[in-house]
Structure 1
Amino acid sequence: MSGETPFGPLQGLRVVEMGQLLAGPFVGSRCADFGAEVLKIEAPGSGDPIRNWGRLQHEGKTLWWPIMARNKKSVSINLRKEEGQDLARKLIAEADVLIENFKPGTLEKWGMSPAQLHALNRGLVIVRVSGFGQTGPYAERPGFASVGEAMSGMRYINGYPDMPPPRYGISLGDTLTALFAFEGMMMALYRRDRNGGRGQVVDAAITESCFAMLESTVTEYSKAGAIRQPSGTGIAKIAPSNIYPAKDGTYIVIAANVDSMFRRLTQAMGQTHLADDPRFVTHIARGDHADQLDSMVAEWSSSLEMPELKARLEEFGVVYGPINSIAQVVDDPHFRERGMVREHHDDDFGTISIPGVFPVLSETPGDVAWLGPQEIGAHNAEIYSRIGLDQGEIANLKTRGVI
């Protein structure tokens, strides 16, 4: 059974997480990985759907759960009941942070608007994660990562010009939003602790998080009327920076679009004359002749097996990286030494490879103490006794479906 987390810079921070699936809970995961006490509120009987998410399982247990629930404590509350809402308020009254990713207006419907919660707990930082934000014409729409990626402009520039824009193989919009929300939470806590203890609301939207990643596309459109288009495996007018085949049919990314790096690549290729070719001598020229240059690089790379190709690029200091499957990532010694992939022993999963905790802090690094309780409400007794309930009262609440 899990205990406390004696590690990380967020020791002593108390977080209440209300929400499910990915974006909101991933904010809680960032907190938990760095030592905060995260109370994950789940509906009794059903819990977070992530408990049953995905087709791949280990002995009937989903392999998503240990990623999203690790280091957290499970507390069951039926938030649709007034008694459940009262219990939640008691927990929130003692918390530093509340994380929620319900449809906007849900907290207000339950009598837990920011104003009501701040009257109860002046220092509370309320992190609200949603598809479109708490205000605006689309605020009340439900939103998932795929929709946020599409509407923000992110999906439009992905893929190939002559094909429908594909989705990413992960819920990128959810994790991006969680990272922005976590960033906002930390800024709000810093401000609170330097400004007389007053909390505030962090309003994080999936659409806006994806939109924030679009680099210069807005200014390009504003001042040049340019609408960036999908460009396949590379970026338009940036060369050479693409994926290139090795002789064995695998692929490698080579990024040598900077003048000095391109010169190194020509040395690795044994074709140093290309560095002084008028078509390729500058960043602009290489962009204008990207198709020709990519063909030349691909012709060279495809003549070498991957180990020899990597050795040549390494020798001349060219930026490169093979396109790895997860099997290759897990076996990579660099990922292992850096703790990006680590082995963890758990009573439910046995020895299992898990992602490490990032970024790495020199003095107060994060860690993984446990992989999340399998029982919904596993920490009810511990947490509810903290707010003054005895075992009989806890049992009565469970019998009546409140917890």
Structure 2
Amino acid sequence: MSGTAGAPDATADPAGFRPRIPAAQWNDWRWHMRKRINTTDKARRWIRLTPEEEKAIAGSAGKYRWSVTPYYASLMDPDDPSCPVRLQAVPAPAELTEFPGSDVDPVGDMYYRRTNRVVHKYPDRVILLVTEACPVYCRHCTRKFHTTDLSGTYFRDDEGGSFEEDLRYIAEHPEIRDVLLTGGDPLSYQDGKLEELVSGLRAIPSVEIIRIGSRFPVLLPQRITDDLCAMLRRYHPVWLNTHFNHPKEITAESAAAVDRLLRHGIPVGNQTVLLRGINDDVATMRTLMTELLRIRVRPYYLYHCDNVTGVSHFMTSVEKGWEIMEGLQGHITGFAVPQYVLTTMIGKIPLARPYVTPTDEGLLLRNYRGEELVVDAAAYPLTDPVPEADAP
């Protein structure tokens, strides 16, 4: 982007009322963080708020944090409240309604927390809740409780405290070979502060892989600087998983951010959440997955939206998820098809419909067109044969 920004072109800003931002500011991620939109007055510079949105913004005050970077706001349709970017970023009345079965922590982060920040749910890996800060507080966040305004954090102590206890726990559990930095968004930290943590992890011999979960490539790609990437490269292997939910989020800026990560040897994967009214149709999801491959991002998970308090209105049925997976499998290249999962207290559970069913005649196979074929059990046995010496 050159010249001035804020409304990148005439089609992105048909009303022509958005602020024009000098390129030096627009390309500086710190400027966007300082200028985040968190009031109705600021929002009106970017979109025409509906009465419902204004009511939800007022109702969420003191309950759920709300902020949007100018970059992400520039992707919103200023006149369409059903814009898929706008729905992810602007409070809606439904998030103030409690739905049946909702929970502030359905995935068990607090249950599995072992230190102030370490959540040890799986045997060989942990997550590290680095911060509760985010550039944009996504309305569908699984950790919405962790980013609330009123005592809604998982932290036992202040997040600005020492990481010594957390690093010691990881070092004292050599079975932990994989650490995922999450939050909040760990890239909210300045490079120096982030490097302190990453270097501390790399100094632990049993830690093989460091992963970063960050939505900055989507919400504020200017954050992905050469300096940041060069710092992370010193601590390889480092992986980054991000979170594109709609093709509209794939821009020249986000593609450039991904390219910078890849050129520094940092693989990029994507975890999409299935969201009602945003991406819950086959055409949108196919476009998203193929566009991710175009910018060299590997689709990883399609999450079924968790029944989180304040988030439930985004949930679809599992049947809708199956419909979308059926519309992906076989219709686009195999490594563009994510794994459809539900995150629970007992881990991530694959939700895909089976393509193989054991029968008396053999294995009943079904392809992406719904065509069926039975293969003989003698050719493709379901179980290993019992050795003669062990036979009864």
- Whether the TM-score (by the shorter chain) exceeds 0.5 is no
TM-score (norm 1): 0.26
Q: Which structure: greater helix fraction?
A: 1
Between Structure 1 and Structure 2, whose CA radius of gyration is higher?
1
